[in-house]
Structure 1
């Protein structure tokens, strides 16, 4: 394959991205401290703390192996003309351009899934199993794969077909129409997720009557928050990790607690976690983040429109035919640096949102700061969280602040030192 400017740029992006990931991972490993932070004295014992650090080492090393294999295979696939081979295979069926494009992207997605499968199996059944997190059975794992594939075909296929058609038929304003179609798709999925998509993977049940439900109802009433439903989810079906979240909009809105959370936290701590999640809702974090995502989507489609059917880009991948559908795939390589910068910005906003939601919980609950701190500690111990991540790792990869930083901010709030 002849070397051109686009190919050199893409290879550079891939290699530099890998080197950045390697650097961050090594810095994160070096930041592991054998000394238990004073805030966690009496919460972590020496054995648990050592185990949490070993978990960070194991997952980090595994991610580096995965990244290394991914880089090598991607470079070999590009340089060997793999994309052209898949395109010729898809064109061999003699279908119109849009079905051919769906077949092309589907084959690439299937190839990626097959190559990723061994890593997913090892992560779930070796690493997560070793550290006591995994509760996924092989049957559930396989069923999840097929359900995910079915959703990708049922939801992603029609959206891709619309995007292909719009770019082929709508002229210079196609990117605007693609943006509008994608926004409509995202909003519909947001509404349907709690009632149609999530129940495909987990069982949801109304929270049982009792002390916890009464405490939640009282708190919601104090905040003039109309509860549409409080549910528990069988998170223990796949993992021992604990979580809680809001999902959906309007009458489809749900508050969801993992069943594992119910087993690990006290009533006051669970209500504090709920107050944090409600803080996101009350402070408009959810629609703001959604709006930012929509703006990012518009930028993506606009820049994409500038590279459609670019001869130099197709030459970089050794393609014999130029097409809209392959343009979308190849543009993903060019967009990677912008995507990284966007992710950093999103993470900054998200971390600030977490601090604000913590403050909301602390201010709207009696002893809210202490209950939330206690809950955060228990969840950190339960999830073997890294208590001392490197700042560069946090900047690039973390949507939540480190738990110690969150606790310090809550302590300052307790003493009247209000953060900005």
Structure 2
């Protein structure tokens, strides 16, 4: 395929992805308001239901504007060869091909993020704040940005440098060697995320002794899940939304509870949430997710290896000669439909796993407190209780609330 044909293909793929995503979002936003389900009558009334719909529509309009801006900018950059122009401009200052690629990606990343800052700012301090979710201040917002830059340069830049070095040294066969290294890194991050990365942005403190901790420890002992690493994260410094998550393996496994979760839920509801997370561990969902991620990375790298030396790909993006960084950018655009299909498949598995974890919590603790916790979490976060089925099929990693409640309360 010649450079001009690839250029048109790139524009077509980007356009298809944008239109498909916005069509699903439109269908979801236009979904009619349902009657308040009987199971939610104690938590939800028509006024709250309308407020949730307003929140969904506000996010849809915001996504449409920000997404359209990004889409148009990307199309213009492809059509007028701006990606290639940036490469030619930087080539006048940097000769080393690996350094050139690293600087190129830094320029693209920082430029893209700077353009997105006004949109992120508006979403945080207008939409999220208007609906009562935002708890962060301007200092936290911009400090998070700077910390994100540093982390991206150190971790992302290091991995990218290693990838580029292997490409230059080995050629087309680089993919399987980097795949091994990337897989090791993924396991490493899972083990040490809460100890090394999360504290950069949030404060973690051990859960204090009391009724909640006693109930959590008693439950984990009952299901043979020894656990001493129970932490509370100060999620309230950024948002009123609540959450909890599990990370690590073996002795390094940790459960992290958001302080907002503790504030908004009873001890039994929090134990039920933990039981759900333990269910993921016991059913080996975490291991399956890790292996699935490793396989996806392998597929991505193998396909990348087929494009990495393409002269026409670089020229399609406006380059004057073959450049690995241009080919990587072109590849990420062409890979997006495959990524979407893989994402749909992974979401199907994830929704199945969520039902299984719910069933485990119901079996080993109780279904009612988990159902109550899900209701509170959903209503407090203004979640959509009547999402469009197509939107759910493509985007939801968790089953809709009503479906989960039917199984928990049935």
Q: 1:382 aligns with which of 362, 380, 383?
A: 380
Which residue of structure 2 lines up, in the alignment, with residue 265 of structure 1? 265
**Alpha-carbon distance in 1 for matches of 2:257, 2:158:** 33
Q: Give the drift of 1:47.
A: 1.7
Take 1:245 and 1:158, find their aligned partners in 2: how far apart are those partners?
27
Alignment of 1:271-420 (within 5 A): 271-365=271-365, 368-412=366-410
Q: Distance in 2 between matches of 1:131 and 1:160?
A: 39
Q: CA deviation at 1:395?
A: 1.2
Contact 2:175/2:302 (8 A) holds in 1 = yes
CA distance in 2, matches of 1:90, 1:247: 41
SS of residue matched to 1:242 = coil
Counterpart CA distance in 1 for 2:32 and 2:114 is 34
What residue is the counterpart of 1:54 in the other structure? 54
Aligned to 2:104: 104
CA contact (8 A) 1:34 1:50 kept: no
User: Which residue of the partner structure matches residue 208 of structure 1?
Assistant: 208
**Partners in 1 of 2:299 and 2:3 — Cα distance?**
29
Q: State the 4+ residue runs in structure 1 displaced beyond 3 angstroms.
A: none
Tell me the residue number matched to 1:65: 65
Contact 1:31 1:390 in 2 (8 A): yes
Partner of residue 418, structure 1: none
Provide the C-alpha distance between the structure 1 equivalents of 2:227 and 2:308, rounded to a whole number of angstroms.
Answer: 47
The alpha-carbon deviation at position 34 of structure 1 amounts to 4.5
SS in 2 for 1:272: helix
Alpha-carbon distance in 1 for matches of 2:95, 2:186: 29
State the match for 1:417 in structure 2.
none
Q: C-alpha distance in 1, partners of 2:385/2:281?
A: 27
Rounded to whole Å, the distance in 2 between the matches of 1:146 and 1:405 is 41
Q: Please state if 1:167 is matched with 2:167.
A: yes
Q: CA deviation at 1:3?
A: 7.2
Question: How far, CA to CA, are the matches of 1:144 and 1:32 in structure 2?
Answer: 37
Residues 216-295 of structure 1 correspond to what in structure 2 (within 5 A)?
216-295=216-295
Contact 2:84 / 2:326 at 8 angstroms: preserved in 1? no
What count of residue pairs does the alignment treat as equivalent?
A: 409
SS at structure 2 position matched to 1:4: helix
Equivalent residues of 2:387, 2:400 under 8 A apart = yes
**Partner SS state of residue 303, structure 1:** helix
Distance 2:17 2:351 in 1: 23
Structure 2: how far apart are the matches of 1:3 and 1:157?
A: 29
For 2:18 and 2:324, locate their aligned partners in 1 and report how far apart those are by CA, in whole Å: 28
Task: Look up the SS of the partner of 1:400 in the other structure.
Answer: coil
What CA distance in whole angstroms lies between the structure 2 residues aligned with 1:293 and 1:3? 32
Once residues 92 and 24 of structure 2 are traced to their aligned partners in structure 1, the CA distance between those partners, rounded to angstroms, is 44
Q: Describe the SS at the equivalent of 1:245.
A: strand
Equivalent pair of 1:347/1:396 in contact (CA under 8 Å): yes
Task: Check conservation: 1:168, 1:324, Cα contact below 8 A.
Answer: no
Once the two structures are TM-superposed, the CA of residue 380 in structure 1 deviates from its matched residue by: 0.9
Q: Is the 8 A contact 1:195 1:252 kept in 2?
A: no
TM-score by length of 2: 0.97
Structure 1: gaps spanning 5 or more residues: 413-420
* Residue number in structure 1 paired with 2:40: 40
Deviations 1:365-394 (A, max 9, x none): 1xx111111111111111111000001111
2:245 match: secondary structure: strand
TM-score w.r.t. length of structure 1: 0.95
